[in-house]
Chains A and B, each alone.
Chain A
Amino acid sequence: MRRSRAASLAAVAAVATLVLAACGGGGGEDGDASEGGVYQDCKASPTTCNAVPAAQLQQGGSLTFAIEKNLPNWNLNSSEGNVFETGLAVKTFLPWTFTTTPDLKQVLNENLLVSAEQTSTNPQTIVYKIKPEAVWSDGTPITADDFVFQWKTMNGKDCPECAAAQNAGYNQISSLTGSDGGKTVTLVFATPYADWKNLFASGTPLYPAHIAAQQGDLNTPAGLAAAWKWFGATVPTYSGGPFQVSNWQDNVALTLTPNPKWYGATKPPLQQLIMRVITEASQEPVALQNDEVQVIYPQPQVDLVQQVQNIPGVSQFQGLGLTWEHLDLNLANEYLADEPLRDAIFAATNVQSIIDSTVGQFNEDVTPLKSHMFVPGIDGYEDYLPPEQGSGNVEAARKILSDAGYTNVAEGQQLTRPDGRAVPPLRIRYTVGNAIRQTTVELIQAQVRPLGITLDIVPTDDLGGTTSSGDYDLIVFAWVQTPASFSNAEQTWNSTSSSNYGKYNNPEVDRLMHEAATSTDLAAARDTLNEAGRILAEDSYVLPLYQKPTIIAAQDDVANVRNNSSLDGPTYNVEEWGLRPAG
């Protein structure tokens, strides 16, 4: 009996201790991981902050970086493999031509190339010069053959079974030839392509053609398809980057070690880099606090940012990225086809108040976006949005409607068109579970109510299906911008594009966008694209809201790891990552 009492007391004490300890909470009383620490210079110097020369770093050591998705397919250029996290991972061991730096500039990858230049505009010709010492990890030189393999698998013609993530640009190449032992690559376009720096770039890196040739005859569609699938299914044993894969545990972690044949100027100081898969973003700060990971790069949310801020010895920085939120109207809706109604909705929408109630809660730098074509930081950005759009000026919105002959323009009434028909309730949609978008649509609903417009909020769990089928009247979602976005703009806004979900149709905008996308003069192309954007804005089809922030958080002994809000992500300079010496 005595033993029972002792057991009972011990059990109660153990559990109570655990609960009390838990309730005590964590975080450090001395901890403040706000935008200070090692990231204090990042706002002013995004490309050089947290920089430590290689000689001052520990030689060796291990670093764990959290990624939010598994890597089920190793072929980044395939539709299935083309996800952000896979991009973060493969950039550690694949070579590419251009990269986007944290200041959102496209720069030459000098590890791989000596130069890449447009040598002729008619026909548009690009000449890449590969560094003589650039080799794959088995010693095979990186050559034009690798470029040709990629071109053939992604142009949509030579390999119909290769489900490429994209073929823009690749389908405009008329010839791609090698010279100087394959170290000079000459690319000729059939039709001009303004975004040529996007080809073979970090979004679509090079895979080894000599290994592809082991899977089949690369002069046949079947051989190309076999190699393409093999690259997707096989854990890479090859490398043309600073690291190579030493171990892969599915859904758990990718372990990388330095590539002994790495030809870049900076040799990785780390002995081991681990990419740990943490699919639950809310668990990342906890793992960071417990030193199970040293760097995290989650989507920022209010709770998460606060959690990170309370961890001692950790710095965080938020940047504004290339992904931007917007409110889209479906012009296939006969009521929304009338421009004054669209103008009024956009005038009544208060973008600043949406920001203040959502992302502004954790990032005071977010401001209303004023362009559809470029984001701030990218060459070409212009504030061309009409001033009333996104201003929340209800009186101006009422005036627009009244001037156009609408009646019942008041809260509690049903807005009526000049032809006497009442505007019925419209459906505004967002992705279910996205709290920020839910708040956004609720605010828009309230902001247009004084106009006599009723919005019914209808979440969707199938954003792709909803947009592609046009099953919405209004919808809030995001697009991703690229630094060279001329063909991207055509895909998004052109009247014949499958991505033009809201059925926008303006031949003049189509003409200008095509002119920009086929220009060989980048400065002129930017002006032309802005001209198209200006018309697009005046047509009140899509209202840009804001650039989505990104957040990086790292322990203070981690050097050279910094935020990169482009699709390149923080691993753009992975060869420089290292640890400061202890003490």
Chain B
Amino acid sequence: MLAFAVRRIAVSLPILLISTFIVFMLASLSGNPLSPLLTRNPPPPPETIALEAERLRLDHPLLERYWMWLTGLFRGDFGPSVQSNLNIGSEVAGRFMVTIRLIAVAMILALVLAVVIGVISAVKQYSKTDYTATFLGFLFLAMPAFWLAILLKQAGIDFNNAVDEQVVYTIGDASVPLPEGFGAQVADIAGHMILPTISLALISYAAWSRYQRSAMLEVMNSDYVRLARAKGLSRRRVMVKHALRNALIPLTTVTALDLASIISGAVLTEAVFQWRGMGDLLLNAIHSDDVYVVMAWLLVTATVVIVFNLLADLLYAVLDPRIRYA
């Protein structure tokens, strides 16, 4: 298992390096970080623009800039941001925690929903419950994430109006200022989490519940489940102990592979709900041609995806004893 993990990491590193090179070139060539200065009216003095160009290393050739960035990483230097006061390293660290909170809660919610509804759908195949779950699954699959988020916001406002209380919030991950008292603070943060996490979770849940349903059906029709039932084991015991365990294996893989798309979903969710996480950082960086911030984002998210895929493989082996990497 250890050798497998080391091998996977060794393969991932060159991929990461190549992707940094490609993204650096694309980001550097696609925009001009001096553009906001050049369009100012009245315009800044030419000396000011020259100073800024020098600070952003624009006076160096592109390849040299990439090399400076790459070697700088070993000194903990992520490069200059268009915001001169921004320390990219500490900014990314702070943002990462915000995004992880959003993604983790949304994924847990999506997984629980997917497993529960997927299993129920399979067990109750072709029942009204199954049809309803299928309809909702395809509805959320087809619904653009942005639109779903907007609908949820409106639902949240309607809910607040109905109970005549500010229960759910539409922007930020907490109120400013945070209310006093532990209970009030927990309620406030929860109120800010409800809509973004539901929004992000529903998109993933829709696909995952379909996987879970078909995996469960396949397992339920397998010989060993029929044998277990024939031996007199209860249906509940067979489902939980035998069928579900095996039916979770495909979902594990799908979940890991979907992480990249969840991160993409989080970018959108953070924008709509104004969470200051990695997604918001990326959008701002792209908008302001902040190449080095884009690169830091790429490094962190790519590493997370690689690590998560590795974990999925390990988990896969744990769930299915027939699979062994050694």
Contact = CB atoms under 8 A, between A and B. Distances in A.
Specify which of B39, B84, B236, B276 lies most central, judged by the most chain A CB atoms within 10 Å of its CB.
B39
A531 interface: no
Interface string A407-439: 000000000000000000000000000000000
Interface stretch (A110-118, A141-149, A342-350, A458-466): A458-466
Contacts of A190: none
A156 B47 contact: yes
Contacts of B48: 79, 163-165
A253 interface: yes
Interface stretch (B65-73, B129-137, B215-223, B298-306): B129-137
Main secondary structure on B side of the interface with A: helix
A547 to B, nearest CB: 14
A377 B272 CA distance: 37
B157 A283 contact: no
B32 A9 contact: no
B41 to A, nearest CB: 5
Contacts of A467: 38-39
A294 to B, nearest CB: 13
Interface in A108-142: none
B48 to A, nearest CB: 4
A496 to B, nearest CB: 12
B250 interface: no
A7 B113 CA distance: 10
Report which residue of A16, A19, A167 has the largest number of chain B beta carbons within 10 angstroms of its beta carbon: A19
A292 to B, nearest CB: 6
A4 interface: yes
Contacts of A70: 284
B38 A468 contact: yes
Interface residues of A, number: 75
B307 to A, nearest CB: 27
A23 interface: yes
A165 B85 contact: no
B38 A283 contact: no
Interface in B134-157: 136, 139, 150-157
A73 B288 CA distance: 15
B274 A278 contact: yes
A168 B123 contact: no
Nearest to A11: B117
A165 B171 contact: no
B116 A7 contact: yes
Contacts of A253: 176
A288 B204 CA distance: 30
Nearest to B195: A18
Contacts of B274: 277-280, 283
Q: Which of B52, B169, B274, B289 has the most CB of A within 10 A?
A: B274
A283 B170 contact: yes
B85 A8 contact: no
B31 A79 contact: no
Contacts of B30: 461
Given A22-B155, A24-B158, A292 B171 contact: yes
B214 to A, nearest CB: 17
B170 A161 contact: no
Contacts, number: 185
B323 interface: no
Given A18-B152, A79-B48, A467-B38, A252 B176 contact: yes
Given A11-B117, A291-B166, A292-B169, A16 B136 contact: yes
- Residue from B120, B136, B139 with most neighbouring chain A CB atoms (10 Å): B120
A492 interface: yes
A308 interface: no
Interface string A471-494: 000000101101000011001100
Contacts of B40: 79, 82, 165
A24 B38 CA distance: 46
B195 to A, nearest CB: 10
Contact of B284 (A163, A279, A291, A487): A279
Interface in B228-284: 236, 271-274, 276, 280, 284
B86 interface: yes
A95 B86 CA distance: 27
B10 interface: no
B113 A21 contact: no
Interface residues of B, number: 66
B176 A249 contact: yes
B45 interface: yes
Most buried by A among B42, B151, B289: B42
Contact of B43 (A25, A477, A498): A498
Contacts of B177: 247, 255, 274
A26 B158 contact: yes
A46 interface: no
Interface string B42-69: 1111111101100000000000000000
B129 A12 contact: yes
A476 B160 CA distance: 44
B41 A165 contact: no
Interface string B311-322: 000000000000
A19 B143 CA distance: 11
A22 B30 CA distance: 39
B170 A290 contact: yes
A276 interface: yes
Contact of A164 (B44, B119, B155): B44
Interface in A72-95: 72-73, 79-80, 82-83
A15 interface: yes
Given A79-B44, A82-B40, A463 B151 contact: no
Contacts of B139: 19
Contacts of A5: 120, 124, 129
Nearest to A431: B39
A166 B176 contact: no
A21 B155 contact: yes
A174 interface: no
Nearest to A64: B176
Which 3 pairs, one residue from A and one from B, show the smallest C-beta to C-beta distance?
Answer: A464-B38, A464-B35, A22-B151
Interface of B: 30-32, 34-49, 51-52, 83-86, 113, 116-117, 119-120, 123-124, 129, 132-133, 136, 139, 150-160, 166, 169-172, 176-177, 198, 202, 236, 271-274, 276, 280, 284, 289
28 contacts: A5-B129, A7-B116, A8-B120, A11-B113, A12-B132, A12-B133, A15-B136, A21-B159, A24-B155, A64-B176, A72-B85, A72-B86, A79-B48, A164-B45, A250-B276, A255-B177, A278-B171, A279-B280, A286-B150, A286-B154, A286-B157, A290-B169, A290-B170, A462-B31, A462-B289, A464-B37, A464-B39, A467-B39
Given A5-B120, A22-B154, A82-B44, 13 more contacts: A11-B116, A21-B155, A26-B154, A164-B48, A166-B43, A276-B176, A280-B274, A286-B153, A290-B156, A290-B166, A465-B32, A467-B39, A499-B41
